[in-house]
Amino acid sequence: MAKTMKAAVVEKPNVLKVKQVPVPEIADQEVLIRVKYTGICGTDWSIFTGKYSADKLPLIPGHEFSGTVAQVGKKARGLKEGDRVTADINMSCGTCFYCRKGQKLMCRDFRQLGIHIDGTYAEYVKAPYDQVHKLPDSLDFLAGAFIEPLSCVIHSSKAARITHGSSVAILGAGLGVLHGALARQRGAAPVIVIGRNPKKLAIAREMGADVVLNIKEHQDPVAEVKKLTEGRGADYVVEAVGTPQTYEQAFQMVRPGGTVVAFGICAGEDTIQVRPFDLVLGEKNVVSSCAGVGPDWPDAIALLAYGHIKPQPLFSMIVPVEELEAALRELRTNPNLFKVFVSSDVSKREILSK
């Protein structure tokens, strides 16, 4: 077993270096995983630019991953070398009030792999054995690296409890595309996805949206959604962009008695204007969800394994770890890029879909 490995380290805000670092040493309850692919997430950009986790630097980011078990701790059960896996990235203390209430995401000592502790833009990562999930044979490593983002959308969908025949409007055609697919699976009609990129909106349609609205053509999405719902507004509105403006639109386009589903992540200092008068008299509800955790992981695996979610049209390319920073920048400027994967095993870019 090598003592060092290649990893991408954010040393300080806007300084990312690919260099040799020690291979993580595992405790008895942990396993070491040889990373195959890591999907780039918006959070990685926030970490790189110091908007998130600045107090955790230097840090190896990366949290949407798949790989193979390389080493098994003495007390790690149910896993062996060579198993194809991913891991639930959410770690908690297990003893505080929130952990005892089953609300691990609120734990006072909450840590996520690749966000608060070293992650997967590296050849190896370690994880507690009881958070590791095996990949079924029908899941390849790319789909395996997509389990984490899907689990987040599943967590949100469970919180929203969308019912048959409900109208659902989704602001955002990034992960919003998956919100559309899951809303359809829950029997929603119509499913409306609102975005600004024709290619992503076409994929949203393919994945189950009844109507797609391009805000470049429809300047006022609130009016459009009302038009599609006999003037009422949608029963559910999912905010999957993460800007104050789209959050305000979500409250404007949800019908009285309806539910706003908060999913997009704004900057910490952002605020929105909502009139409590309208909330109370309109009996408008809000549900929020922060991450996929616990059972959301096997649920995401099942939907992918049986092809109920087919994410392949979302997969744009694979880049070598040396190109992580370039890819992070490209994702900011090229709206046609969807999911970009990073690997230590490739030496040049592989395009997956145009």
Q: Is the dihedral of CA 80, 81, 87, 90 positive or negative?
A: positive
96 binds Zn ion, rule: CB under 5 A:
yes
99 binds Zn ion, rule: CB under 5 A:
yes
27 binds Zn ion, rule: CB under 5 A:
no
Tell me whether residue 98 or residue 215 sits nearer to Zn ion (CB atom).
Answer: 98
**Site for Zn ion (CB under 5 A): which residue of 2, 93, 223, 267?**
93
Shortest gap between Cβ of 270 and Zn ion (angstroms)? 19
Shortest gap between Cβ of 119 and Zn ion (angstroms)? 10
What are the C-alpha distances in Å from 289 to residues 103, 157, 207, 305? 11, 9, 22, 24
318 binds Zn ion, rule: CB under 5 A:
no
Shortest gap between Cβ of 235 and Zn ion (angstroms)? 28
Tell me whether residue 41 or residue 225 sits nearer to Zn ion (CB atom).
Answer: 41
Shortest gap between Cβ of 97 and Zn ion (angstroms)? 8
Of the listed pieces 50-58, 101-109, 205-213, 250-258, which binds Zn ion according to CB under 5 A? 101-109
Shortest gap between Cβ of 42 and Zn ion (angstroms)? 7
Tell me whether residue 98 or residue 353 sits nearer to Zn ion (CB atom).
Answer: 98
Stretch 34-53 residues interacting with Zn ion (CB under 5 A): 41, 43
Residues 6 or more apart whose CB falls under 8 angstroms from that of 175 comprise 149, 152, 153, 240, 263
Of the listed pieces 17-25, 65-73, 92-100, 168-176, which binds Zn ion according to CB under 5 A? 92-100
Q: State the binding string over 219-248 for Zn ion (x if CB under 5 A, else -).
A: ------------------------------
Q: State the binding string over 50-89 for Zn ion (x if CB under 5 A, else -).
A: ----------------------------------------
157 binds Zn ion, rule: CB under 5 A:
no
**Beta bridge partners of residue 12, listed in sequence order:** 15
Biggest distance spanned by C-alpha atoms of the chain: 65
159 binds Zn ion, rule: CB under 5 A:
no
Of the listed pieces 80-88, 104-112, 131-139, 255-263, which binds Zn ion according to CB under 5 A? 104-112
**Beta bridge partners of residue 18, listed in sequence order:** 8
Tell me whether residue 93 or residue 223 sits nearer to Zn ion (CB atom).
Answer: 93
**Site for Zn ion (CB under 5 A): which residue of 53, 86, 92, 289?**
92
Shortest gap between Cβ of 319 and Zn ion (angstroms)? 17
Residue with tokens 């009996």: 283
326 binds Zn ion, rule: CB under 5 A:
no
Shortest gap between Cβ of 165 and Zn ion (angstroms)? 32
Residues 153 and 274: their CA atoms lie apart, in Å, by 25
**Site for Zn ion (CB under 5 A): which residue of 31, 89, 107, 145?**
107
What are the C-alpha distances in Å from 95 to residues 101, 133, 200, 297? 10, 23, 43, 22
Shortest gap between Cβ of 284 and Zn ion (angstroms)? 28
Residues near Zn ion (CB under 5 A): 41, 43, 92-93, 96, 99, 107
